[in-house]
């Protein structure tokens, strides 16, 4: 399908960019170390420390992203999202949104198709918010570097504010009764 | 290193094993996707590590404490949120970056502000959001996300 074609092209250019990015940053790193040999030890030891920590956390993160994306389909999202309304719907939206399915720009088409199917704005806003800032694999990295307490605090306040945001935006948009979402028609 | 990450790795491997047991095809696909996302994010990871190292070498802790520390107050939080909103980098590399800044004197509130606005607001995805939902929805959602990011940061900073 059309979508697949775009993705493939994207992937190729992304891979190219990846290599260019790695080579460029390696060159900058080497250049700086050669120019400032007296700071070499500090720079290398700090980079090494973070490199090792990343190395420990990256494989499980990537594998869980892969597993989620094959076992949790987009249909599943549509199945659960938008059925329930109110606070229950909001919580389902959070859970579904936190599953790793890709970057935010993938979420917009999914969400807008759900609006067409009748999902409430509250659910959609909560879903987009959760998709953006509460991702399960990313949470593993957050846990590793910033600790459990930071993570629990950030996640709980994010959940509260995302739901609040959903209620407020839903109120504003529904009160005005204007055709906000042109694609619905 | 930490035992919890040993457990994490074991859990993920276990999940992978179950996945293979259920469907070899799907599991291979999962590994392919894992590899793809690794390739896509590798440059960001490497660049972040390089930046962390170079910052350690050139920016003294006192400077970080002064501009990103507790003293910088609400203006520091606003600035961090703004930078986070504009930047387009994968969220998970912001965690080590922020961790290294906090370790060297930046306030937790500023770190949280950067992370939340980075994740919640996407400048680069605005056109798509407008296309799918219209301009009003997009403006409302992004502005309220920005306010939410600041509130979340303040709450995390005060309570931690």
The H or E element spanning position A43 is: helix A40-71
CB contact under 8 A, B16 and A138: no
Q: What are the tens digits of pLDDT across the range B125-144?
A: 888 889 989 999 999 999 99
Domains in chain A, number: 1
Mean pLDDT in runs of 10 for chain A (185 residues)?
Answer: 46 71 86 90 90 88 89 78 79 87 79 84 92 88 92 95 93 67 50
Say yes or no: B29 and B78 in one domain: no
A103 falls within a domain? yes
Answer left, alpha or beta for residue B134, where phi above 0 means left and psi between -120 and 50 means alpha: left
The pLDDT of residue B101: 93
The pLDDT of residue B30: 93
The pLDDT of residue B42: 85
Say yes or no: B150 and B92 in one domain: yes
Contact (Cβ atoms closer than 8 angstroms) between residue B118 and residue B86: no
Q: What are the tens digits of pLDDT across the range A148-177?
A: 999 999 999 999 999 999 999 999 987 654
Q: Which of residues 24-63 of A touch B (CB under 8 A)?
A: 25-26, 28-29, 32, 36, 39, 42-44, 46-47, 50-51, 53-54, 56-63
Helices (H), A72-135: 74-80, 86-98, 104-116, 121-133
Full domain range(s) for residue A159: 72-176
Residues of B in contact with A122 (CB under 8 A): none
Q: What are the tens digits of pLDDT across the range B60-88?
A: 988 888 888 888 888 889 999 999 888 87
A131 falls within a domain? yes
The pLDDT of residue A110: 85
Query: Crossing angle for the helix pair A40-71 and A136-176, nearest 10 degrees?
Result: 60
């Amino acid at each position: 399908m059309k979508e697949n074609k775009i993705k493939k092209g994207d992937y190729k250019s992304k891979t190219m960019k990846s290599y260019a990015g790695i080579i460029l940053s390696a060159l900058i790193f080497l250049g700086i170390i050669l120019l400032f040999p007296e700071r070499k030890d500090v720079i290398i030891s700090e980079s090494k420390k973070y490199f090792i920590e990343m190395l420990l956390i990256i494989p499980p993160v990537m594998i869980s992203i892969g597993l989620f994306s094959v076992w949790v389909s987009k249909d599943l999202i549509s199945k659960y999202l938008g059925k329930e309304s109110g606070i229950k719907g909001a919580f389902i939206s959070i859970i579904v949104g936190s599953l790793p399915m890709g970057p935010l720009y993938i979420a917009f088409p999914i969400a807008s198709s759900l609006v067409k199917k009748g999902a409430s704005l509250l659910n959609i806003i909560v879903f987009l918010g959760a998709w953006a800032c509460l991702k399960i694999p990313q949470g593993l990295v957050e846990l590793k570097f910033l600790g459990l307490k930071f993570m629990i605090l950030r996640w709980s306040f994010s959940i509260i504010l995302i739901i609040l945001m959903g209620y407020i935006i839903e109120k504003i948009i529904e009160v005005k009764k204007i055709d906000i979402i042109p694609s619905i028609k | 290193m930490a035992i919890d990450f040993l457990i994490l790795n074991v859990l993920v491997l276990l999940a992978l094993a179950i996945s293979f047991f259920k469907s070899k095809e799907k599991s291979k696909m999962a590994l392919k996707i894992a590899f793809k996302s690794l390739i896509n994010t590798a440059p960001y990871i490497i660049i972040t590590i390089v930046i962390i190292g170079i910052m350690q070498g050139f920016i003294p802790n006192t400077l970080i404490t002064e501009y990103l520390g507790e003293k910088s107050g609400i203006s520091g939080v606003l600035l961090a949120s703004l930078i986070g909103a504009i930047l387009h980098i994968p969220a998970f590399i912001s965690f080590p970056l922020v961790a290294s800044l906090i370790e060297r004197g930046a306030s937790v509130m500023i770190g949280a502000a950067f992370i939340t606005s980075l994740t919640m607001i996407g400048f680069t995805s605005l056109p798509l959001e407008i296309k799918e939902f219209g301009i009003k929805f997009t403006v409302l959602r992004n502005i309220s996300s920005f306010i939410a990011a600041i509130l979340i940061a303040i709450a995390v900073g005060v309570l931690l």
